[in-house]
Amino acid sequence: MWSSDRPRMPAGWSRTRRHVLNDSDVCYLCGQPGADQVDHVLPRSRGGGDYLNLQPVHRDCHAKKSSAEGNNRRAELRARRFRPSDRHPGAC
């Protein structure tokens, strides 16, 4: 959930988005024209930036990619939570 004091998009986002979509409207995920959104290739949560990391994408392709990323992240966290702790080498 987004905090009300943190902006959802960085300053100048609409201009950046327009620039990316003006360069190309071909979806980088499916290769078809008509992209109407902009996606971070490397998610911001994984260190991806806002400028050289953006590609045009269709709304449906974007939703599928975002859903898969969320599912993968939840699986990583779940695996980390249930991983047994490392035993001390001197313990029997």
pLDDT of residue 3: 54
Tokens of 2: 């987004």
Whether residue 91 lies inside any domain: the answer is: no
25 closest CA partner among 14, 35, 15, 16: 35
Whether residue 49 lies inside any domain: the answer is: yes
Mean pLDDT of 73-87: 80
Enter the pTM of the model: 0.69
pLDDT of residue 5: 60
Whether residue 41 lies inside any domain: the answer is: yes
Angle at 60 between CA 56 and CA 64, to 5 degrees: 100
What integer best gives the mean pLDDT of the chain? 84
User: Is the pLDDT assigned to residue 86 strictly greater than 80?
Assistant: no
Q: Containing domain of residue 47, as a range?
A: 15-81
Residue that has been written with the tokens 């939703």 in this structure: 63
